[in-house]
Structure 1
Amino acid sequence: MRIIIERSNLLKSLAHVHRVVERRNTIPILSNVLVRTEDDALRLKATDLDIEITESVPATGEQAGATTVPAHLLYDIVRKLPDGSEVKLSTNDEGTQMTVSSGRSNFRLQCLPESDFPDITAGTLTHSFKIKAGELERLIERTQFAISTEETRYYLNGIFLHTIEAEGELRLRAVATDGHRLARAEMVAPAGSEGMPGIIIPRKTVGEVQKLLGDSNDDAEVTVELSDSKIRFVIGDVVMTSKLIDGTFPDYQRVIPLNNDKELTLDRQDFAAAVDRVSTISSERGRAVKLALSDQQLTLTVNSPDAGTATEELAVGYGSDDIEIGFNARYLLDITSQLSGESAVFMLADPGSPTLIKDGGDTSTLYVLMPMRV
């Protein structure tokens, strides 16, 4: 193979595909990216056997062919070449080496044959729909922080995506929980998503999709194809296919409280800043902040046996019975950072029951937070 390509185009595509390649691999071919020349285009493909990502990029083809080279090494080489330069990729007759040349720079990389490269895309995808990049990004951003990192509860290590009938219309809903907090975001279900299976998209896949969406226009259309075992995202010239988590997501609806009658309304930014300030006194990861509520006033308190005590008072909208309840400060900050409105609404029951948190500016999201003993 022999092809000439703009350095900026090659770098952008390599940035997308090389991320799925694990830096430590026991199977050598999985450290490589598949490089194939097609009609005036270069096609790149990388996989970790759970995720496969491909992208086509314009190039001047001189001789067709395909090979595989170390993904991170090729990315680092191209990244360090001068802006605006052209890169020439060519293989020797035996296909054992690829030469990467640009200006006075020349690199010879060891190749592995294309025939050894795995393909995970086999199988029929039963459902397909289109969604705006901005809408998909919002569903992910509002929920991904609550994905569990506890490997023993593997079915919580992703976002549960499903359709559900709510208020007389079909909604596409994303849910994530780690057992301590739950995040739910939804939108009107796009055409084609009717009858889709409820699926759990793995954490790594969620992160990669999020990065790809960040590079695209909010109004760009993303095609989502899925079955009960795989999902594929087509974002511009990038195609990403991923295995899904084979497990059953718990019945999250049972966790969402319906009868919490104590309503607290507060300024989101003022509250987040106050939580951040008082939690400075505690260095523990699971630091608890106590919320003491009385008529129109909230007092935040953090006690640290080593450092001392911090308190702060806020004027809030609250007219129910006095209550004291504790929460993990980090979780409170995570949730308030996802809210888009100026105000946040907390629906409380008692110090031992889950609290419902709503976004004053977005009725399509809600959060549930378990209290802590303080």
Structure 2
Amino acid sequence: MNIVIERTALLRSLGHVQSVVERRNTIPILSNVLLSIKNGELALAATDMDLEIVETVPASVTRPGSTTAPAHTLYDIVRKLPDGSQVEMEVSGDGHQLTLRSGRSQFKLGCLPPDDFPQISRGELQHSFQLPAADLRALIDRTRFAISTEETRYYLNGIYLHAAKVRAGGAELPVLRAVATDGHRLAKVEIPLPDGADGVPGVIIPRKTVNEIRKLIDEAADRIEISMSENKIRFAFDTVIVTSKLIDGTFPDYERVIPTGNDKVMEVDAKVFAAAVDRVATISTEKSRAVKLSVKRGNLTLSATSPESGSATEELEVAYEDTPIEIGFNSRYLLDITQQIEGEGARFLLADAASPTIIRDVADSTALYVLMPMRV
């Protein structure tokens, strides 16, 4: 293989694929990026056996072929080359060495056989539909903060994506819904069901895949093609194809934890509320991060106490006409949810100090958040 490629284009693609590669690997080939020529372009691929990213980039090809090279080392070399430079890559006749030249710089890297490189993207995926990049970004941004990091409950370590139906004006409307929960909070967001998404299976997309897709979306074209089967999902846009295994588990019946009898309604300016919670939480202990909400007619008092730091209170005007209630929350969880509210108003549906609270965006009915209280 012998090619010449523009440094900026190579760096951009290497940056996308090398982030999948784990720093420590017991299998040497998984530390490498696969470089191959496809249709006169350079294709770069990296995988950790659960997630694979393939990206193609224009190159001037003198001799086709393929090889694998250490992903992080190659990325660091290209990153340190001058802007606007041309990079020549040549594989030795025995395939054991990759020579990289740019200007007066020359590097020689050890290679591993490309035939040893695992590819998880093979196989047909039965269901396929297209989604605007903005819609996928919204589904991810408004739910991923609630993904569990507890490895023992592995079935919560991702976003549950599935087709559902909602009642609106006496009719049932099909939606594509994303749900995430860690047992302390739950995020549920939906968009109209895209054409071709009828009958898609409910799938749990792993946290790492969600984060990699989110990084790539900002550079994506207007639409993203999503294909899936019972155990794999693929995202294709522009010159990038991301294929991932799905979490093999059953997502819990989240509808059961969404309370239906919360009749105490409080409305507050979301940004003012978030800023006040952030200020008061400065006092709360690092471990509990507890903030107490004392609500009475037209008034909310936020308070936090700590044996080491002292105490803090702040009062806000709110729309509330019910009986007084006191309830405590983890301030970090409260802020995570209020940051998702894009409109001015946040609506809290409360029951009592021991029951879950529903939080909604007054201006947007497509998102719902549930937060478990804590003792304060």
Q: TM-score range by the shorter chain?
A: over 0.9
The aligned counterpart of 2:313 is 311
The aligned counterpart of 2:208 is 204
The aligned counterpart of 1:151 is 151
Describe the SS at the equivalent of 1:15: helix
The aligned counterpart of 2:261 is 259
Q: Does 1:213 align with 2:205?
A: no
Q: Does 1:105 align with 2:101?
A: no
The aligned counterpart of 1:346 is 348
Q: Residue 40 of structure 1: CA displacement?
A: 2.8
Q: Which stretches of structure 1, 4 residues or more, deviate above 3 A after TM superposition? A: none
Q: Residue 147 of structure 1: CA displacement?
A: 0.1
The aligned counterpart of 1:237 is 239
Q: Residue 138 of structure 1: CA displacement?
A: 0.3
RMSD: 0.8
Equivalents in 2 of 1:361, 1:84: separation in Å? 47
The aligned counterpart of 2:75 is 75
Task: Letter of the 2:55 partner, please give it.
Answer: E
8 Å contact 2:227–2:233 — kept in the other structure? yes
8 Å contact 1:38–1:61 — kept in the other structure? no
Equivalents in 2 of 1:177, 1:285: separation in Å? 20
Equivalents in 2 of 1:210, 1:285: separation in Å? 29
Percent of pairs identical after alignment?
59
The aligned counterpart of 2:179 is 175
* Structure 2 gap segments, 5+ residues each: none
Task: Letter of the 1:271 partner, please give it.
Answer: F
Q: Residue 303 of structure 1: CA displacement?
A: 1.0
Q: Residue 214 of structure 1: CA displacement?
A: 1.9
Equivalents in 1 of 2:279, 2:43: separation in Å? 50
8 Å contact 1:359–1:365 — kept in the other structure? yes
* Structure 1 gap segments, 5+ residues each: none
Q: Residue 194 of structure 1: CA displacement?
A: 0.6
8 Å contact 1:356–1:367 — kept in the other structure? yes
Q: Does 1:61 align with 2:61?
A: yes
Task: Letter of the 1:92 partner, please give it.
Answer: S
Describe the SS at the equivalent of 1:318: coil
Equivalents in 2 of 1:277, 1:221: separation in Å? 40
Equivalents in 1 of 2:230, 2:86: separation in Å? 43
- What count of residue pairs does the alignment treat as equivalent? 372
Equivalents in 2 of 1:122, 1:35: separation in Å? 17
Equivalents in 2 of 1:64, 1:72: separation in Å? 23
The aligned counterpart of 2:198 is 194
Equivalents in 2 of 1:98, 1:345: separation in Å? 59
Q: Residue 348 of structure 1: CA displacement?
A: 0.3
Normalising by structure 1, report the TM-score: 0.98
Equivalents in 2 of 1:212, 1:174: separation in Å? 19
8 Å contact 1:4–1:61 — kept in the other structure? yes
Q: Residue 120 of structure 1: CA displacement?
A: 1.1
Describe the SS at the equivalent of 1:338: coil
The aligned counterpart of 1:26 is 26
Normalising by structure 2, report the TM-score: 0.98
Describe the SS at the equivalent of 2:108: strand
Equivalents in 2 of 1:122, 1:32: separation in Å? 19
Q: Residue 85 of structure 1: CA displacement?
A: 0.6
Equivalents in 1 of 2:39, 2:178: separation in Å? 39
Deviations 1:231-277 (A, max 9, x none): 00002110010000000000000111112110000001110111000
8 Å contact 2:284–2:291 — kept in the other structure? no
